Amino acid sequence: MADGFDLHALVHYALRREVMAWRTYERLAERAAPGEAQSMLYQLVSFEEEHVRQYTVVLRPQIEASGLNPDSIVAAAEVETLDLEGVVDEERIATAPLDGVIKAAMDFERMMATFYEEQAALVDDPGIRAVLEQLASEERSHEVFLDDLLAALSLDPVDDAVEFPPL
């Protein structure tokens, strides 16, 4: 591995945050009214679950060779108190306006994309680099998706009826 790349640190940092992101989006979806915004939040849950799968399945050989068990990291993150250091926490998820939490989530997605890009530049293993570059790209697309979600949250039902008249 290149200087500065630490697979242990990467796996602990990233897996925990991916699980926290999926749990955050799941909690927000539970708070959202049924409709497009709620569906989009559940879609984000599936995106983040896929990132966890990429670590636990695609990178399993490299991770296990380093002595880590990705399943135990995921299991621990699934029961931890929701807290993404300075981004979102249990109280904010429960009480803050959805648009405020979604804006914070956009910052989080941007931060994770940058993290994956930086880690990809440090790693020598082409398989790990490809996964990190893919994850960075997906995190960037989540930021755009969240921006679309903000737009969906702000739709006025009256305007919606005009824009999409009944058939």
* pLDDT band per the 50, 70, 90 thresholds, residue 155: low
CB 20 within 8 A of CB 45: no
Instruction: Spell out the domain ranges in the chain.
Output: 7-156
Give how far the C-alpha of residue 36 lies from the chain's centroid of Cα atoms, to the nearest Å: 19
For the chain, percent of residues with pLDDT exceeding 90: 23
**Coil, helix or strand for 35?**
coil
pLDDT level of residue 94 (50, 70, 90 thresholds): confident
Structural contact between residues 109 and 133, judged by C-beta atoms closer than 8 angstroms: no
CATH architecture of the domain formed by 7-156: Up-down Bundle (1.20)
User: Mean per-residue pLDDT for 72-98?
Assistant: 81
What is residue 90's predicted lDDT score, i.e. its pLDDT? 80
Q: What is the pLDDT of residues 11-47, one digit of tens each?
A: 888 888 889 888 988 988 888 888 888 888 899 999 9
Give, as one character, the DSSP assignment of residue 59: T
Other CB atoms within 10 Å distance of the CB of residue 142: 25
